[in-house]
Amino acid sequence: MLVGEPVEARVLRSMLFQTLSALAACHAAGVLHGNLAPYRVLASPLAPGQYRFRLTDFSFSPPEDERASLAMSVRPSRSPPEMDVPAASFGPKSDVWSLASVFVE
């Protein structure tokens, strides 16, 4: 996989499955990512056309129960539009929105 090179549909499906699975595991443990972006999804080649995808950079990730009551002063780069509302709280749905925007990009 090179930058600017088309990605096969099966690789995209695998990437989406692996990253959603990783996000689900994080959310099950009560941890939100908080700032997903394309450069925070790493690909490691396993074999020709096969990759292991990983989520990285959890530096913006307090536990979910803390984030739910936290008024954020800085909006993550790919957060959902409802985060523009002053009383909005960040949650798992925001991570899913961010991951979807990574795939659109």
**Identity of residue 48:** P
Evaluate if residue 86 carries a pLDDT over 60: no
Give the pLDDT band (50/70/90) at residue 76: low
Q: What distances in angstroms separate CA 3 from CA 6, 43, 57, 63, 87, one per listed residue?
A: 9, 12, 20, 33, 38
* Exposed e or buried b per residue across 77-98, where buried means at least 16 C-beta atoms within 10 angstroms of its C-beta: ebbbeeeeeeebebebebbbbb
What pLDDT digit, counting tens, does each position of 8-45 carry? 899 889 999 999 999 999 999 888 887 788 888 898 99
pTM of the entire predicted model: 0.72
Evaluate if residue 101 carries a pLDDT over 80: yes
- Average pLDDT over the chain reads 78
